[in-house]
C-alpha cells in the first residue's frame, strides 16, 4: 500500500493551473492508495460546484465542527484534482472538510483520496477555537475505506508548539483522545503538516514519538533526506527557521514494515507544486492492508 501526504498550498501558488496538472499526472502515474492533503482550498465566493464534478465524493460527518454549512464550490482544488485524475483513467473516491477561512478569501480544508471506496469520513475539532473566520481553527479529517477493516486514516494541519492560545500539545491530546478506542481495534495512521521540525528537541515531534507513535520515515528500509520544506514559507519566516526542515510526516501506531519513504514533489521526484514537498511511503503489511 502506498500512502501520500502533501500540503498543496492550493490556489495560493503561482502557476496554479500548471501545478495542478503536474500533480494529477504524477498521481496518475504513481497511483498511491491513500492521499491525505492539507490546505485544500476553494474560492469562498465562487458558485456552487456542479453535480457532475461531485463524482466519487463522500460527505464527511461534521461532528462537533462548525463547517457543515460550507458548500462545495467551483474551483475546489480536490474536485478539480479528482476530475483530472478521471481524465487520466484513475478513479479515486474523495472527501473534503472545510476548516477555516484562509487569507480572507479561501475556504481552506483537508481532503482524502482513496482508490478504495470510502466507508466513513469524520471531521474532528482539534483546536479550542472553532471559529471559521479565525486562522487558528484546526481540525482533523478521518476516513475508513473498504477492504481494510479496523484501520483509520487521519490528515491534519497542526498549530505551533509555542502558541500560547492554541498550542500543538493540546491539539494532539485531543486527537489522541478521539482515536484511543479506534487504535485498540486496529492500526491508526496520522499524516500531514505538523508545523513541528524533527530536529527541535522537546517539542511537537518528540511529544508524538514519546506517546508511542512510529515515524514511518525512521521505519523505512530505504529513505532519502526527508526534508519537506526547502525554503522559508508562510508561518515560519519570523520563527528563526524555515529552510531545510522535515515537518510533514506519516505516523502509525504499530511497528509495520515500511519498504520506502520518499520525499516527492521536490523537483527531483516529481515537480515542485507547493511550498511543501510531499511524503510517500510504501507499506509492506499487514496482509489486510495490502492490495
Q: Which of 283, 285, 289, 265 is nearest to 26 (CA)?
A: 265
CATH number for the domain that contains residue 24: 3.60.10.10
Determine which of 14-28, 95-109, 125-139, 272-286 has the lowest per-residue pLDDT on average. Answer: 272-286
pLDDT digits (tens, 9 = 90+) for 190-203: 999 999 999 999 99
pLDDT digits (tens, 9 = 90+) for 41-93: 999 999 999 999 999 999 998 765 656 678 999 999 999 999 999 999 999 99
pLDDT digits (tens, 9 = 90+) for 32-43: 999 999 999 999
The pLDDT score that the predictor gives to residue 291 is 42
Note down the domain range covering 63. 2-289
pTM: 0.94
The confidence band for 288, taking pLDDT boundaries of 50, 70 and 90, is very low
pLDDT digits (tens, 9 = 90+) for 202-243: 999 999 999 999 999 999 999 999 999 987 666 554 555 556
Contact 213, 254 (CB under 8 A): no
The pLDDT score that the predictor gives to residue 243 is 64
How many domains, in total, are found in the chain? 1
Q: Which of 128, 135, 75, 62 is nearest to 101 (CA)?
A: 135
Amino acid at each position: 500500500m502506498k500512502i501520500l501526504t502533501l500540503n498543496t498550498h492550493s490556489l495560493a501558488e503561482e502557476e496554479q493551473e500548471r501545478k495542478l496538472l503536474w500533480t494529477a499526472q504524477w498521481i496518475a502515474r504513481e497511483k498511491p492508495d491513500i492521499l491525505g492533503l492539507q490546505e485544500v482550498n476553494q474560492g469562498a465566493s465562487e458558485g456552487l460546484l456542479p453535480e457532475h464534478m461531485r463524482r466519487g465524493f463522500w460527505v464527511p460527518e461534521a461532528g462537533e465542527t462548525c463547517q457543515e454549512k460550507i458548500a462545495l464550490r467551483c474551483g475546489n482544488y480536490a474536485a478539480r484534482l479528482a476530475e483530472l485524475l478521471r481524465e487520466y483513467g484513475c478513479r479515486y473516491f474523495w472527501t473534503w472538510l472545510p476548516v477555516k477561512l484562509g487569507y480572507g478569501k479561501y475556504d481552506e480544508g483537508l481532503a482524502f483520496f482513496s482508490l478504495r471506496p470510502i466507508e466513513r469520513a469524520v471531521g474532528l475539532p482539534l483546536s479550542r477555537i472553532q471559529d471559521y473566520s479565525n486562522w487558528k481553527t484546526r481540525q482533523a479529517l478521518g476516513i475508513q475505506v473498504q477492504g481494510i477493516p479496523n484501520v483509520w486514516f487521519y490528515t491534519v494541519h497542526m498549530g505551533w508548539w509555542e502558541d500560547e492560545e492554541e498550542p500543538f500539545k493540546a491539539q494532539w491530546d485531543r486527537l489522541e483522545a478521539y482515536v484511543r478506542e479506534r487504535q485498540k481495534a486496529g492500526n491508526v495512521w496520522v499524516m500531514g503538516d505538523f508545523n513541528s521540525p524533527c530536529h527541535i528537541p522537546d517539542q511537537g515531534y518528540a511529544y508524538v514519538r514519546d506517546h508511542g507513535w512510529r515515524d514511518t520515515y525512521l521505519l523505512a528500509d530505504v529513505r532519502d533526506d526527508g526534508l519537506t520544506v526547502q525554503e522559508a514559507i508562510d508561518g515560519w519566516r519570523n520563527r528563526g527557521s524555515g529552510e531545510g526542515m522535515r515537518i510533514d510526516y506519516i505516523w502509525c501506531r504499530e511497528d509495520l514494515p515500511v519498504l520506502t519513504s520518499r520525499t516527492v514533489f521536490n523537483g527531483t521526484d516529481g515537480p515542485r507544486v507547493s511550498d511543501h514537498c510531499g511524503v510517500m511511503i510504501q507499506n509492506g503489511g499487514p496482509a489486510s492492508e495490502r492490495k
